[in-house]
Structure 1
């Protein structure tokens, strides 16, 4: 479904991503783990057209994403839950969610999809008329995920969904990610909480200073000594 080959990305003279190759198959959860500054967020931003690539290729369902504008990529069935949530702070929760459906040509199912999001996140239904900027960090993360779901994607890119959340909320967010996976949505997950990320993923890649240094089944990496020492505090 998503195939990245020899991708390099630079910010001026700084090489952020250095010739990485990875793939995400239909229906998988693939985790991309690594320390701060490893190039994880840059990789997602390049996939969704927010940052230009220096070289390499990104193909999504046969479409060359490096030749596709960011506003068109979302119409291909790919949604991006960004690091830091980036909700529309002066809009209500429901208005934020409805913005997720903005790119859809057929809007006849928006009400149905809203009900679905509210089933996932009952707290959002209680706060649907509240300004998103007044929500807690965990609630804003729910809004960001719900907004992505509203675009009816077949693939969701999630960037640090557990950042700044309490352990209880982290479990809740990851439970929803697993539920989306069960419903057939493909997930590329960038996450510093390596233990949680590896525990739900099918496969994983380890990114270090812009290069992929390890890859394999998530269960294998979860028990790999190097990974445990570097990312699991063991």
Structure 2
């Protein structure tokens, strides 16, 4: 589904990503874990076209998308749920969802997809006329995920979906991520909660200071002494 080859990204003189290689196969949940500032968000933003690659290739289903604009990548069914949710606070829940489908013309299908989002997140259906800024943090995260699904992505990029949420809500969000994946959406997940991320990931990569330093199945990495010490509280 997605192949990243020797990806380099610079912020001015800062070399943020260094020869990153990463693969996401169709139907997988792949997670990218690492400390703050390691390059996780930069990786996602470069895949979705918000950051420009200095060199390297981003290949989606055999097509090189490295130089496409962000909206062209959305047309190719790449969708990102940004860190911090970035919902439109003055608009209603329904209007936020409709904006997620702004490139689509199939009005009847859009209606079906809105109903599908309400099935996934029943609370959003109850709050559809409410302004998004008045929702709780967990509800805003659900809305950000629902909005991203409105473009019918083949691959969904999730940036820190559990950030700032109570433990009970974190579990709920991760169950929903598994549910979205089970309906056929491929997922690349960036997450600081390494334990939860590894528990649902088919495969995982560890990034440190812009370089991939480790990869394996979610289970393998969750059992690795190195990962236990660095990210799982040293059990």
Bucket of the pairwise TM-score, normalised by the shorter protein: over 0.9
Residue in structure 2 matched with residue 40 of structure 1 by the alignment: 40
Aligned to 2:158: 158
- 4+ residue runs of structure 1 moved beyond 3 angstroms? none
| 1:127 equivalent in alignment to 2:127 | yes
Aligned residues: 234
Q: Deviation of residue 40 (structure 1)?
A: 0.3
Q: Does 1:233 align with 2:229?
A: no
After TM superposition, the structure 1 = structure 2 runs for residues 84-103 of structure 1, keeping only pairs within 5 Å, are 84-103=84-103
Deviates more, 1:27-36 or 1:115-124: 115-124
Unaligned runs of 5+ in 1: none
CA distance in 2, matches of 1:77, 1:106: 15
Equivalences for residues 11-26 of structure 1 within 5 A: 11-26=11-26
Q: Which runs of 5+ in 2 are unaligned?
A: none
CA-to-aligned-CA distance 1:48-68 (integer Å, 9 cap, x gap): 100001111100112222121
Answer yes or no: is 1:78 the counterpart of 2:72.
no
Q: Secondary structure at the match of 2:52?
A: coil
**Structure 2 partner of 1:61:** 61
Kept in 2, the 8 Å contact 1:101–1:107? The answer is no
Shift in Å at residue 105 of structure 1? 3.0
Question: TM-score, normalised to structure 1's length?
Answer: 0.98
Report the alpha carbon displacement of residue 3 of structure 1 after superposing the two structures with TM.
0.4
Q: TM-score scaled by structure 2?
A: 0.98
Task: Tell me, in whole angstroms, the C-alpha distance in 2 between the residues paired with 1:46 and 1:97.
Answer: 24
- Cα distance in 1 for residues equivalent to 2:217 and 2:141: 27
Once the two structures are overlaid, the 10-residue window that deviates more, 102-111 or 155-164, is 102-111
Q: Is 1:203 aligned to residue 176 of structure 2?
A: no
